[in-house]
Amino acid sequence: MTDEFDEQQASVLIGTAEKMIEIWNRLSPEKQAALLARFGSEENALAALVTTQLVAPAKS
């Protein structure tokens, strides 16, 4: 296993992160508060969203 990303992996990761940030910004303040309470910080909540997306991508 390597600690480096190839261009395709980096592109997928960046695209997924951008998508999750867009979703975060559309969440209601109540939903954001619930995620913050569960994960402790916006960074952790976004990481959970990104991980969920990478592990089980949403169907288009």
Judge whether residue 55 has pLDDT over 70: yes
Regarding predicted confidence, which is higher, 16 or 53?
16
The rounded percent of the chain whose pLDDT value lies above 70 is 87
pLDDT digits (tens, 9 = 90+) for 33-43: 999 999 999 88
What pLDDT does residue 4 have? Answer: 82
**Helix, strand, coil % (nearest 5) of the chain?**
75, 0, 25
Query: Mean per-residue pLDDT for 28-51?
Result: 89
Overall pTM surpassing 0.85 (yes/no)? no
- Rg of the Cα trace of the chain? 13
The pLDDT value given to residue 1 = 55
